[in-house]
């Protein structure tokens, strides 16, 4: 099953089953292609915990070593951008990149979770674009300017049950129809259970929180007017536009 959140024509936020752009909630079908229905991010995280260098080929393309434990950083709620939205790139920056990622949404409060039990706490999977301001990321230790600006985490279009997403699910990113990134879960350095266990050893994950599992090779700059598509097998396609401030 796949689920999505929408704002209906009356302005109410609803959650329902998602099938090919149609959300069925309380017996009513809403077409998300209609102008009076807005497709929203499928969850409302209190935080997004992102994983750096979880694909060896991405670490290599940026000239970084593969870490011996998950490299973690945070994105706050203001970074969330809805499917179909337009992300405004920070002004005056030479390079702001796309980063296609398979994202995990937490279903229940998790603290000190063992890897063998981690999937019991996962509500499902979605798509995420870890939009990254390289100018500032390369100048700071904590990556706040580089990773946490408004709209830096488009998420969606829906939440897919774990059994709906293959263990070797592919992830692909296209800009204006051109494929730039293509890989799969097979190439993770650290698995989803390992990531959940490591993160919850240090912080509590709340329902709706997101663990974004890292990006493969192929990151590249975004430009004004770009149309971005992030596709995760079993989830669907997250689409958003880009504009320069």
- For 27-80, write each residue's pLDDT tens digit: 999 999 988 999 999 999 999 999 999 999 998 998 888 899 999 999 999 999
Structural domains counted in the chain? 2
pTM > 0.75: yes
**Residues 36 and 59 grouped into a single domain:** no
Q: Are 195 and 211 in contact (CB under 8 A)?
A: yes
**Residues 9 and 69 grouped into a single domain:** no
**Residues 23 and 101 grouped into a single domain:** no
Q: What is the pLDDT of residues 118-151, one digit of tens each?
A: 999 999 999 999 999 999 999 999 999 999 999 9
**Residues 4 and 48 grouped into a single domain:** no
**Residues 11 and 57 grouped into a single domain:** no
- The Cα 7–Cα 81 span in angstroms is 14
Predicted local confidence at residue 187, as pLDDT: 96
Predicted local confidence at residue 99, as pLDDT: 98
Write the CATH number for 6: 2.30.30
**Residues 32 and 138 grouped into a single domain:** no
**Residues 90 and 175 grouped into a single domain:** yes
Q: Which residues span the domain enclosing 12?
A: 1-40
**Residues 98 and 27 grouped into a single domain:** no
**Residues 27 and 140 grouped into a single domain:** no
**Residues 111 and 170 grouped into a single domain:** yes
**Residues 78 and 24 grouped into a single domain:** no
**Residues 138 and 239 grouped into a single domain:** yes
Q: What is the pLDDT of residues 162-206, one digit of tens each?
A: 999 999 999 999 999 999 999 999 999 999 999 999 999 999 999
């Amino acid at each position: 099953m796949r689920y999505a959140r929408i704002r209906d024509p009356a302005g109410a936020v609803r959650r329902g089953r998602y099938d090919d752009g149609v959300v069925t909630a309380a017996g009513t079908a809403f077409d998300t292609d209609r102008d009076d229905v807005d497709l929203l991010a499928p969850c409302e995280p209190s935080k997004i915990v992102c994983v750096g260098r979880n694909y060896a080929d991405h670490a290599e393309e940026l000239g970084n070593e593969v870490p011996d434990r998950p490299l973690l950083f945070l994105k706050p709620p203001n970074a969330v951008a809805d499917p179909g939205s337009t992300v405004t790139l920070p002004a005056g920056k030479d390079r702001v990149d796309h980063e296609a990622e398979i994202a995990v949404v937490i279903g229940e409060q998790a603290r000190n979770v063992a890897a063998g039990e981690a999937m019991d706490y996962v509500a499902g999977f979605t798509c995420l674009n870890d939009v990254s301001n390289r100018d500032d990321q390369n100048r700071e230790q904590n990556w706040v300017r580089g990773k946490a600006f408004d709209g830096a985490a488009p998420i969606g279009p829906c939440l897919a049950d774990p059994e709906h997403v293959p263990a070797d699910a592919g992830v692909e990113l296209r800009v204006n129809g051109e494929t730039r990134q293509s890989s799969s879960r097979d190439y993770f350095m650290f698995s989803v259970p390992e990531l959940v266990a490591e993160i919850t050893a240090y912080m509590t994950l709340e329902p709706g929180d997101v663990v974004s599992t890292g990006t493969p090779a192929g990151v590249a700059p975004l430009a004004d007017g770009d149309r971005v598509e992030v596709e995760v097998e079993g989830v669907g396609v997250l689409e958003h536009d880009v504009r320069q401030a």
